[in-house]
Amino acid sequence: MYARRRHVYFWMMGACLFLFVGAWAVVRLFSTPAAVAMCVVAMLIPPVAAMIANRRGPEDRWWDDPSGDPQSDEWWDELDGKKRRER
């Protein structure tokens, strides 16, 4: 799952670079408004790519989900104050 999100992120960032470089290297010679529009689209891609790369999938473990190891879960619960330590 992580690999797929990472690949999507890099493809989106590659498209961003392609749009930006293409806009000012080629398209500006023919149409400045089109080059500016391409840069605006390129400007919107990085935040969307970051959201896609950092979203949580349905099978991803969240930080407070139990890990399945009883000793580790008990230790983390004690540190988080969810359970009191019995003496």
Query: pLDDT tens, 29-49?
Result: 999 999 999 999 999 999 999
* Whole-number pLDDT of residue 5: 84
Nearest C-alpha neighbor of 32 from the set 15, 40, 12: 40
- The answer to pTM > 0.85 is no
* Whole-number pLDDT of residue 72: 79
Given its phi and psi angles, is residue 33 left (phi above 0), alpha (psi -120 to 50 degrees) or beta? alpha
HSE, CB side, 13 Å, CA atoms: give it for residue 39: 13
The 10 Å Cβ neighbour count of residue 49 is 20
| CA angle 16–39–21, rounded 5-degree value | 60
